[in-house]
Amino acid sequence: MVTQGSISREIRRSVRQEFPNFQTKADNYLEFVPTLVPLSLGALGVKGKHAFKDQLVLMVLSQGVANSLSYGLKRIIQYPRPNGDDNLSFPSGHTSVAFTGAAVLSKEYGEQSVWYSIAGYGIATSVAGMRVLNDKHWVADVLFSAGLGIASTEAVYAVYPWIQRKIFKQNKLAVMPFYSGQTYGLAMVAPL
């Protein structure tokens, strides 16, 4: 832990020296692109590894696992951000969202063309880099979060056949978008 901290601090010092005035909000929007691409492709009828409904469920579950772990760890660990704003630096939620979306994109469309995977992971890597350049996260935060997003997706894909057999066997799944003030998302209902 001491080595990780000293390495992260040295990288931060170098980044601040090279890019002292770097500021962008692009990472606040780009984090969602890798999630929206596979869902958009599926909605437009581009065939992925799974049907659109399954892609939607896989994305929601993958993001749910990654975000639950990410925000749970933030609350438990309470590591200070490099800029001192708060104690919610580790892990990076933006990075885990972006890499989760990129992993789903790669799993669904990566066998059709490697460019889907390159684009998804490229955008996710850009988000991680911007979080460090914006002085919101340490390098260790974004590296861990990238792995968290990918691992969450791999875990969901591994158990999804069981979920299909046990939970969705009646094929009566309903998924609906919702918006309430400043909150938006997807609501899923399935008979148990």
Overall domain count for the chain: 1
- Residue 143's CB: how many other CB atoms inside 10 A? 18
Give the pLDDT band of residue 171 (cuts 50, 70, 90). low
Residue 89 domain-assigned? yes
- Residue 67's CB: how many other CB atoms inside 10 A? 17
pLDDT digits (tens, 9 = 90+) for 122-143: 999 999 999 999 999 999 999 9
Residue 168 reports pLDDT greater than 90? no
Residue 178 domain-assigned? no
**Entry pTM:** 0.86
Distance CA 42, CA 182 (A): 27
pLDDT digits (tens, 9 = 90+) for 67-122: 999 999 999 999 999 999 999 999 999 999 999 999 999 999 999 999 999 999 99
Residue 78 domain-assigned? yes
Residue 129 domain-assigned? yes
Maximum C-alpha span of the chain: 59
Residue 181 domain-assigned? no
Domain interval for residue 125: 2-167
Residue whose C-alpha is closest to residue 88's, from 70, 101, 65: 70
Strand partners, 44: none
Residue 175 domain-assigned? no
Q: Count, in order, helices (H) and strands (E) of the chain.
A: 7, 2
Residue 187 domain-assigned? no
The domain that holds 21 is classified in CATH as 1.20.144.10
Residue 176 domain-assigned? no
